Each structure stands twice: as structure tokens, then as C-alpha cells.
Amino acid sequence: MSIVENIQYIENQVVSKGVTLIAVSKTKPVEMLMEAYNAGFKRFGENYVQELVEKYESMPKDIEWHFIGHLQSNKVKYIAPFVSLIHSVDSLKLLQEINKQAAKNSRMIDCLLQIYIAEEDTKSGMTEEECLAILQPETLKSLPNIRIVGLMGMTTLTDDETQIKKEFRKLKDFSKKLRTQNSELRILSMGMSGDYEIAIEEGSTMIRVGSKIFGGRIYQK
């Protein structure tokens, strides 16, 4: 199937459930993204700052760019002028830098807090306790140019569906609990090519799908 057919296939599965599809285009050439764009699809996810900036500069300006990878504080300034949503905030220090750069650009930047749910310790993210500390009103007040709009999580790399389900459910339960106190936390970004169907069953509202749209990854950094 073509890129456009893949996107249509997945959107047909998820849109009626209120789930937003982000096409993860990391390592893919601009021509492939443009195929999707020319068919009307405008939400892309990238995880390397330099690659994101290059694509932003060479592509139409009505694209919604999502940053989904590990973000170093010293690189925030490059994406702050245009990024739509940063999914991968894993520390208060990073949020403070995003806030600073958002202010410099006279913007509000939407962010998700990445919560550590996997069993392997290679996946980044923060603990529930760190997340709760950031969501304290005094802390939020010190970040006037940030809007925290939800949570993101990545599961352990495994074929064990029970394990994946358990990890998604843990994040869903935590998100539900937080939402009773803070209604702005409406997004739950979980699910990739291999597990988005399970993620949606477990309450995901935003899925990040790469290889199932663009084909296998050419290389992985």
C-alpha cells in the first residue's frame, strides 16, 4: 500500500474513536512527507532536532510538527518558534527551558509529560511523583508560556501483549486520576505501529505511527 493508503487505513480505524494520528516521519525524506501532505495530511512527528528544523524549513508552513524524541535543553531554541506539541518532556529543567524559549518567541508551547512506564530502563520519562510535583499550582505558575495538555508513554519492547496492556493501563489510570484535578490534561499519547490498537483499547487519544505508514525504518540512531 502507498503512504496515503496507509494513512487512510489507520485514520479509518481511529478517527471515529476520537483518536488523533501523528505520522512519525523520522529518517524519511521530504518527498515521502509531501505525498501525505498533498493528500491533505498535515501532522508529522520527528525525534531529532536538526532533522525537524530542516524539514520545517523546506516544507509548507501549515504543518503541525510534533516533537517526540529525547530533547536536550540546549536545542529547545531551534524548535521553539514553530513546534506544535512536545510529547517528550522528561524533567522540570527541560520545561523551564521550553518556557524561556516560548516567551522569547511570544508563544505558548503545548507539552506532554513523558511518564516512565516500561520495565526496561532504556526508555526515558519521569516518575509519577516527578509529574505530580510539576503539576503543583506554584510550579505551573512559574511556567506561564507552557500549557501541559497531557501525558505520553512508551511501553517495553516486547511481543507480550499482557505486559503491553498492563503498562498502557497504568498510564491510563494515572492520567484519569490527574484529569479529575486538571481538566487541561486531555491528551494521552500512547501507541506506535506495533501496539496502537491495544493503546486505543486502553484509552489512548493520540497515536504516533511511523513504520506502518512509511515502511520500515531505514536506520535507527
**CA–CA separation, 66 and 85 (whole Å):** 5
Nearer CB in complex with ligand PLP: 150/210 = 210
Options 7-15, 58-66, 100-108, 191-199: segment touching ligand PLP (CB under 6 A): 191-199
Options 6-14, 141-149, 173-181, 189-197: segment touching ligand PLP (CB under 6 A): 189-197
Nearer CB in complex with ligand PLP: 47/204 = 47
- Out of 7, 25, 26, 83, the only residue in the binding site for ligand PLP (CB under 6 A) is 26
Nearer CB in complex with ligand PLP: 161/177 = 161
Q: 45: closest CA among 218, 213, 209?
A: 209
Options 116-124, 142-150, 165-173, 187-195: segment touching ligand PLP (CB under 6 A): 187-195
**CA–CA separation, 114 and 100 (whole Å):** 20
Close Cβ partners of 28 (under 8 Å, ≥ 6 residues apart): 214, 218
Nearer CB in complex with ligand PLP: 105/124 = 124
Nearer CB in complex with ligand PLP: 68/86 = 68
- Out of 28, 43, 172, 208, the only residue in the binding site for ligand PLP (CB under 6 A) is 208
- Summarize as ranges the residues that interact with ligand PLP (CB under 6 A): 24, 26, 47, 68-69, 154, 192-194, 208-212
